[in-house]
Amino acid sequence: MIPTPFDYIAAKSLDEAVALLGKHGEAAKILAGGHSLVPAMKLRLAQPQVLIDISRIKDLAYIREEGNSLRVGAMTTHYALESSKRVRVVSPLLAECAAAIGDVQVRNRGTIGGSVVHADPAADWPAAMIALRVEMVCAGAKGERVIKADDFFVDLLTTAIAPGEVLREIRIPLSQGRTGQSYKKVRHPASGFAVVGVAVNLGLDAAGKCANASIGVTGAAAKAFRAGGAEAALTGKPPDAAVAAAAAAKAADRQDMNSDLYASAEYRRHLVEVTARRAVLAAVGAAK
């Protein structure tokens, strides 16, 4: 449980962090809340020679509205999102998902940016990121680029962020009209991570039919994924219990499920269906 030796540098600005990443290359890693990286270092699963701490860069932790989107700095803690009254009003899925993470100590230190870049297959945020169709703003030596959530999660512990880039901001489009959101999760009893987690963001039309649906699933597969079959099964229909059940039955379509000592692939597929149905019905209830 003792990491290999490393140098520690506290970056004072985003530009300095990017420059340090450029200088040290693959030997370096960004340190945010440290709640995934430090345990990995103690287990020697990660052995960076240089840690670049971005937690003292004040202008990386913020929640603000700009036009029709919410801008969240990468260093914003899970707790800041859980406890923001404004977030609960304009993007309740963010607050609900944040509150489902670990325990209060984890939520006080862990950051949304660290979680999405780490891309743990059992992390909660990736499901919400996909359901909310967010954009990740990454800063690198050549400037900034924006990656859509659907393209961001590439594989187990792997994202589309390039070596030398720092995630700076997450942009969340704010839903208009009659919308409902929900995050439902089956917690691993020991770790609290998601055995399965489903995030739903849907809109109803004037007649009460589902005008649009966006559903992200985490915990179930090597990476979080969009439940496209379930979205299609909801859209254009009155989202009653039967329609929700039919849509949920398609939530794990064409996906290989993870299998481990706690949950077999078959059990996880079942949990995706049950959790998706509950999340859809909760989102419909919130929209009414």
Ligand X SMILES: Cc1cc2nc3c(=O)[nH]c(=O)nc-3n(C[C@H](O)[C@H](O)[C@H](O)COP(=O)(O)OP(=O)(O)OC[C@H]3O[C@@H](n4cnc5c(N)ncnc54)[C@H](O)[C@@H]3O)c2cc1C
Footprint on this chain of ligand X (rule: CB under 6 A): 29-37, 39, 74, 101-102, 106, 110-111, 113-115, 117-118, 120, 123-125, 161, 166-167, 191-193
Pairing of strands 166-173, 69-73: antiparallel
3-class secondary structure, 274: helix
Nearer to ligand X (CB atom), residue 48 or residue 203: 48
Nearer to ligand X (CB atom), residue 118 or residue 269: 118
Please report how close the Cβ of residue 204 comes to ligand X at its closest, in angstroms: 29
Nearer to ligand X (CB atom), residue 109 or residue 226: 109
Residue 205 has which token pair?
């039309």
What phi and psi, each to the nearest 5 degrees, are found at residue 91?
A: -150, 65
Residue 89 has which token pair?
């009003």
Nearer to ligand X (CB atom), residue 78 or residue 250: 78
Please report how close the Cβ of residue 21 comes to ligand X at its closest, in angstroms: 9
The CA-based dihedral angle spanning residues 210, 215, 220, 225, taken in that order and rounded to the nearest 10 degrees:
140
Q: How far apart are CA 275 and CA 74, in angstroms?
A: 28
Please report how close the Cβ of residue 195 comes to ligand X at its closest, in angstroms: 10
Please report how close the Cβ of residue 34 comes to ligand X at its closest, in angstroms: 4
Neighbours of 82 (CB within 10 A): 20
Please report how close the Cβ of residue 185 comes to ligand X at its closest, in angstroms: 8
Nearer to ligand X (CB atom), residue 117 or residue 287: 117
What phi and psi, each to the nearest 5 degrees, are found at residue 177?
A: 75, -150
